[in-house]
């Protein structure tokens, strides 16, 4: 099991968190996603490490950026 941590910028509400969670959850191999609105922390859990670019693309698809 692998856990990767990121920081998402631009989130302001629960809808933002839901959008990021939904998009990152769709990344192949991701088994769990945790997002903290206050800190912008994004934790991605998967069976094998997920490419950073796949996570970045999912966050950008949701309308936000990785710090």
| Confidence at residue 11, expressed as pLDDT on a 0 to 100 scale | 98
Query: How far is C-alpha 7 from the chain's CA centre?
Result: 8
| Confidence at residue 43, expressed as pLDDT on a 0 to 100 scale | 98
The series of mean pLDDT values per 10 residues for the chain, 67 residues long, is 97 98 98 98 96 98 97
Burial class of 65 by CB neighbour count within 10 A (0 to 12, 13 to 18, 19+):
middle
The number of CA neighbours under 13 Å toward the Cβ of 51 is 5
Model pLDDT for residues 31-47, shown as the tens digit of each residue: 999 999 999 999 999 99
Spell out the domains of the chain, with CATH numbers in brackets.
2-66 (3.30.70.100)
């Amino acid at each position: 099991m692998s856990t990767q941590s990121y920081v998402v910028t631009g989130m302001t509400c629960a809808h933002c968190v839901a959008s990021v969670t939904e998009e990152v959850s769709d990344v192949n191999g991701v088994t769990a996603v945790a997002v903290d609105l206050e800190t912008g922390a994004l934790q991605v859990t998967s069976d094998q490490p997920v490419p950073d670019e796949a996570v970045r693309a999912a966050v950008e698809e949701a309308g936000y950026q990785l710090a």
